[in-house]
Each structure stands twice: as structure tokens, then as C-alpha cells.
């Protein structure tokens, strides 16, 4: 199903996440297993360690998101000074390829620049050529291979281990 873009821009809101958004980030059950990840990221946003963005369309709901980690134990990703890590950048299927992702990425980058960040990093799955192309089109460059290994506790508090080989990408913000 294609979403008509006429008058769509008048109904789009790009904003930071509120606590009431947390259940809606689960996208009607598709991402329920990430409930604790979302909660932990939101808690970090309250202490200035991350910034969580959503795209909301009036009378539709949340259709996209991007999380930004400002400080990480991996300083090559986010050092709390001038390098930030973008992750969980996603849009619902019907809202892809209509410019919302490009707009959200511009907002994220502008916000980082306003806060004196000079570099944005991200990891993208090696098996996701559309996402790789999207980021390259927006000035990101592949700089390294990543194992893509990480873990999280799901909504049932079960430890889940993820292995998703990725490319580390970097963009110097201007």
C-alpha cells in the first residue's frame, strides 16, 4: 500500500520521545521484544546520554524513529564530546521511500551540530543494501566491519544474543 504524499507534510511531526510513546514504539507487537531496550534508552535520554526521536503522523501514529547515543563504552561510536552513534533508525514499511527518513536524518544531524557534535556513526547490517545505499546517499562512508554481536533482555527478561554482521559507517557533519 502506497501512502499518498499530497498534504502529508502538513500532518507530520518530528519530535523527541515522551514516556507515553514507549508502548507505541513496539509497533503493535512487532518490537515488543525490545521493550526493555526502549525503556533503558529513554532513561538514558532523561540524563542527557541519548536523544530519542520519533516521526508521528496525525491520525496515524508513530511511523518512524531514530535513537542517538551520545556516550558509549565504545568511544569509537560515541564519546560524549563530538561523536554520536545513531541506531534503531527505522520506518514502518508503508512510510519508506517518501522522504521521511531523509528528513529525520537531517533533523538528527542538525541537532547534533547544534550541540557541537562533529561526527555521526552508525552500524548497518551488511545484508541490508537498501539501508547501506540510503546512508551513502546521505554522506556516510563505510569505515570498518563490525561483528554485530550484542545482547539485550527481552520483555520477559530473557537474555537474547544477536549476531548481525554490520558495516560501521561514519559521516563528518558540516
Q: What is the rounded average pLDDT for all residues in the chain?
A: 94
CATH number of the domain enclosing 80? 3.40.630.30
Q: Measuring CA to CA, which residue among 86, 85, 104, 108 is closest to residue 95?
A: 104
The per-residue pLDDT for 10 is 74
In a domain, 105, yes or no: yes
In a domain, 118, yes or no: yes
In a domain, 54, yes or no: yes
- Number of domains composing the chain: 1
The per-residue pLDDT for 5 is 52
In a domain, 116, yes or no: yes
Contacts of 85 (CB under 8 A, 6+ apart): 68, 69, 72, 74, 77, 78, 120, 121, 122
> Could you list the residue range(s) of the whole structural domain that residue 141 is in?
11-172
In a domain, 128, yes or no: yes
In a domain, 2, yes or no: no
Tell me the pLDDT band of 2, cut-offs 50, 70 and 90.
very low
Tell me the pLDDT band of 1, cut-offs 50, 70 and 90.
very low
In a domain, 3, yes or no: no
pLDDT tens digits, one per residue of 70-126: 999 999 999 999 999 999 999 999 999 999 999 999 999 999 999 999 999 999 999
In a domain, 4, yes or no: no
Amino acid at each position: 500500500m502506497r501512502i499518498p504524499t499530497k498534504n502529508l507534510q502538513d500532518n507530520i511531526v518530528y519530535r523527541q520521545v515522551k514516556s507515553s510513546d514507549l508502548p507505541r514504539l513496539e509497533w503493535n507487537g512487532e518490537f515488543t521484544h525490545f521493550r526493555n531496550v526502549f525503556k533503558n534508552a529513554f532513561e538514558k535520554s532523561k540524563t542527557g546520554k541519548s536523544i530519542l526521536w520519533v516521526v508521528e503522523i496525525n491520525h496515524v501514529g508513530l511511523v518512524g524513529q531514530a535513537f542517538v547515543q551520545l556516550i558509549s563504552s565504545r568511544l569509537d561510536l560515541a564519546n560524549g564530546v563530538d561523536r554520536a552513534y545513531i541506531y534503531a533508525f527505522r520506518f514502518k514499511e508503508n512510510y519508506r521511500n517518501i522522504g521521511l527518513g531523509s528528513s529525520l536524518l537531517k533533523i538528527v544531524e542538525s541537532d547534533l551540530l547544534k550541540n557541537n557534535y562533529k561526527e555521526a556513526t552508525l552500524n548497518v547490517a551488511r545484508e541490508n543494501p537498501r539501508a547501506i545505499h540510503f546512508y551513502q546517499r546521505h554522506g556516510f562512508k563505510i569505515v570498518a566491519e563490525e561483528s554485530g554481536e550484542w545482547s539485550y533482555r527481552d520483555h520477559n527478561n530473557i537474555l537474547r544474543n544477536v549476531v548481525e554482521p554490520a558495516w560501521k559507517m561514519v559521516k563528518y557533519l558540516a
